[in-house]
Structure 1
């Protein structure tokens, strides 16, 4: 049997490799445009970027355990470095969280260009049937621009009130909230404000933001397969919930860097890009003083200003689209980190100093090291043994689970030569997750992943989720699995402990691991069924 390079690396547990930087390719092939991908590829030094800076960045984020899933660096419109920490891969989408906001802002900009609204329009004017009986002066004064700049006048983020309300009409819930400050005068990061932008676009166009953007933005940029979470009424959440591939993020940043022009055609009005990415209001956030804090550089229309005179869209746990116009540079990053500032610091410390105004001399040794590093990126696997004497005793046998809040009634583990099938029965039926042993196995699951996420909203029609699973025996009686939901930012660790005919199955979602908190789900306890 002949394995291609991707299959070979997956056999080793490396998962997805960096398509543009493969150590075995000759230099001329590496620099060529890769079929099926839209942005041209180039050597870093040919575009004035030091390979050493990118290599130092990758090493630094790994040393600091910042948990990146992917990175793509684009200079002068050319991808000069790209990498995915397997099992994350270039053909997979990734949850963007609040990076979605920059796309919602773009939809508003397109609607403004089409004459459907103006940023000075009052928010209440779009929803006469949803306004409260008494409209306060501050609510009446709230403009589309105030939604865009997170200066609605609310004292706190409106999002929890929308998501936790018994009212399924989120627009009505938003408009019912007290507006404590004069709109335009008080910045509060407010995902509910972005949701209202989505609702306005849908009200004016009869289309969701996703549908509206598809022919106007996604198709021209050859972005395929995008999806977006919705509220109970089918309105895209706007402030979060969009999923795109890493290269799609990079293309979006490149479009903004090119002031709205793509392949010679204007996609977004240049004036809108200028307004959206300029300082509109003083932002808040972070714990450092202003000169060291990328959350205190100001806020535009759903874009943050950065140090080094750049701007970015960003999302929870480290989803980034960083644009540095002076350097003609775009950096796309996906991750699940508890230290978002830490990622930006490493960009400024390592990548940025290596960006020069002219091409650099070739450095084959360092370039080769970078290529090798990016080709073998991988998130860590469990440390443990491939088997246990207990495995043959319990394999394929069901354990009845005592009554629990998850309504799980039975679990079983079936061990094979190079993997394990974990089976769990609950009120929705039987769910199977196939794990590799000391390596990733890619598959799908119909398990509900909402409990793992920051938000409880769903992708319409999605019944199965892509997953990479691996497992190992951490001791003779404990089989530990990691389930990575590879089109989200999240994973969970599942521990099965066996003792005297019994089992305990414990779940720990990655957000609890990051926050060093206890998972709210119960430990499942059961006995071997006869």
Structure 2
């Protein structure tokens, strides 16, 4: 289905001060450890600001990590409306084949509403333990871990709860999450291609692994802001939206620090409560912030481990920019129009920083054809990367990344000429990858690699004298995987 563009308006026409958006851009671009990829701000249902930092683009799917949970939660709302799911049913009732194995009273008492609200009774994350118990069926592994407390009484952010929730939906509907959501949510909202990572059993993960464009995040947020209504039609039950976006379990320890944490304001059904409004979010900087009081949705895709810092920037710069009504006072239109135009111009030319260095070394022959090995003691930074080679190629260079042969991983051959971003697409490389590279001195070559369908960014530094390289992540992946997995699942 071809997505219809969201309606667009100037910031001033929707009561948004463009200077606040500019201040947010200043802050997020200047913040160490924050690499923005995409931004969309909707006010009164209209896009008032949007932009993507090259080499990222508007139409490219991006790994959303735990924003996947909010899509899974939406599937729960549809399934309840269709009589396929009951929040008060015991989880074990959907898996009768495990009934004899699950003997702990707490596990047997666990209800669907408990796993939907991260209140299974466990006090900590159980994903590693669940897979260790039963890698083929993580639901069974999870249910074999006795809860520490009575289900419903305590909060713990716990991946197997949402995995189990997604497994129940897939079992109850006989479809994958994508198949179930496509006619009910994705197509009606005009969300184009989405791809969802699956486990070894072929089940879509539910708690993570969804790849979609920033626009999809914005559309989901707008649907929830409008209480499940889209273009005049009640798609998602309003009762589900109300339940999903209020706190069901306290996740604050009552400390002064918790008052200023957007991760200690309560948890709903696959949504976090925030100091203002509520949100879905995903690891390494993915956000779907919904502000009902301001009638605003903010969608951000990024690469950062400093997620509270991003939320702080939103509250400091964007929140005050949402005025109570459009700016229309006499004499203000021209000034506001100029500010809006300046913002649009800036948003149209966003670009991530590139390597500060020379486009070619002083001695091409000394560098061309050299293979660099992992520096001693640092190979674990990227376990599957075994060698790096540079080869002069006409007016440019080819950077080749070799991966572990026992994983049968194909090499990456990335061509660059100059230090600006160069993008390689499939099938030339296993996954879409951008490279900015250059020589920072006679002995040092640096390459910044962006894996464009994920948040992740790898920095390579090669030493000619030592014939070795180091590899360091900005936004470290949640688990070690080959570089060829850093793209949409196909």
Residues 489-516 of structure 1, C-alpha deviation per residue, up to 9 Å, x if partnerless?
10101122223xx62132222235x99x
Q: In the alignment, does 2:113 pair up with 1:145?
A: yes
Q: Which residue of 2 aligns with 1:22?
A: none
Matches within 5 A, 1:21-40: 38-40=5-7
Q: Which residue of 1 aligns with 2:207?
A: 239
Q: Structure 2 unaligned segments of length 5 or more: list them.
A: 483-490
**Change in 2 beyond 3 A, CA 1:137/1:243:** same
Distance in 2, matches of 1:382 and 1:410, equals: 21
TM-score (norm 2): 0.88
Residues 232-259 of structure 1, C-alpha deviation per residue, up to 9 Å, x if partnerless?
2111111111111111111111111111
Distance in 1, matches of 2:254 and 2:190, equals: 36
Distance in 1, matches of 2:198 and 2:384, equals: 27
Counterpart among 442, 464, 468 of residue 498 in structure 1: 464
Q: Which residue of 1 aligns with 2:283?
A: 316
Query: Is the partner of 1:471 in helix, strand or coil?
Result: strand
Distance in 2, matches of 1:42 and 1:134, equals: 55
Check conservation: 1:436, 1:469, Cα contact below 8 A.
no
Distance in 1, matches of 2:372 and 2:311, equals: 48
CA drift of 1:100 comes to 0.9
Check conservation: 1:150, 1:189, Cα contact below 8 A.
yes
CA drift of 1:400 comes to 8.4
Distance in 1, matches of 2:99 and 2:417, equals: 54
**Change in 2 beyond 3 A, CA 1:392/1:340:** same
CA drift of 1:112 comes to 0.6
Q: In the alignment, does 2:444 pair up with 1:483?
A: no
Instruction: Give the alignment's Cα RMSD to 1 decimal.
Output: 2.7
Q: Which residue of 1 aligns with 2:486?
A: none
Q: Which residue of 1 aligns with 2:487?
A: none
Distance in 1, matches of 2:123 and 2:278, equals: 25
Q: Structure 1 unaligned segments of length 5 or more: list them.
A: 1-34, 448-462, 522-530
Check conservation: 2:134, 2:140, Cα contact below 8 A.
no
Counterpart among 32, 41, 64 of residue 96 in structure 1: 64
Distance in 2, matches of 1:400 and 1:49, equals: 52
Q: In the alignment, does 2:310 pair up with 1:343?
A: yes
Q: Which residue of 2 aligns with 1:527?
A: none
Matches within 5 A, 1:111-190: 111-131=79-99, 133-165=101-133, 167-190=135-158
Distance in 2, matches of 1:107 and 1:36, equals: 20
Q: Which residue of 1 aligns with 2:422?
A: 441
TM-score (norm 1): 0.82
Q: In the alignment, does 2:439 pair up with 1:473?
A: yes
Matches within 5 A, 1:378-417: 378-395=351-368, 397=369, 399=371, 411-416=388-393
Residues 114-157 of structure 1, C-alpha deviation per residue, up to 9 Å, x if partnerless?
10011001000111213463511111110000001100011211
**Change in 2 beyond 3 A, CA 1:493/1:387:** same
Check conservation: 1:88, 1:486, Cα contact below 8 A.
yes
**Change in 2 beyond 3 A, CA 1:84/1:132:** farther
Query: Is the partner of 2:449 in helix, strand or coil?
Result: strand
Count of aligned residue pairs for this structure pair: 464
Q: Which residue of 1 aligns with 2:488?
A: none
Distance in 2, matches of 1:338 and 1:187, equals: 22
Check conservation: 1:435, 1:481, Cα contact below 8 A.
no
Counterpart among 10, 34, 37 of residue 43 in structure 1: 10
Residues 325-357 of structure 1, C-alpha deviation per residue, up to 9 Å, x if partnerless?
121111101111122111111111111112122
Distance in 2, matches of 1:36 and 1:121, equals: 37
Q: Which residue of 2 aligns with 1:221?
A: 189
Query: Is the partner of 2:199 in helix, strand or coil?
Result: coil
Distance in 2, matches of 1:52 and 1:84, equals: 19
Q: Which residue of 2 aligns with 1:21?
A: none
Q: In the alignment, does 2:173 pair up with 1:205?
A: yes
Matches within 5 A, 1:338-377: 338-360=305-327, 361-362=332-333, 363-377=336-350
Q: Which residue of 2 aligns with 1:11?
A: none
Matches within 5 A, 1:250-329: 250-284=218-252, 289-308=257-276, 310-329=277-296
**Change in 2 beyond 3 A, CA 1:158/1:383:** same
Q: Which residue of 1 aligns with 2:399?
A: 422
Counterpart among 46, 51, 59 of residue 78 in structure 1: 46
Q: Which residue of 2 aligns with 1:230?
A: 198
Q: More displaced, 163-172 or 476-485?
A: 163-172
Matches within 5 A, 1:508-523: 508-511=472-475
Query: Is the partner of 2:241 in helix, strand or coil?
Result: helix
Distance in 2, matches of 1:468 and 1:70, equals: 16
Residues 459-494 of structure 1, C-alpha deviation per residue, up to 9 Å, x if partnerless?
xxxx93211111010111222111100110101011
Distance in 2, matches of 1:436 and 1:166, equals: 49
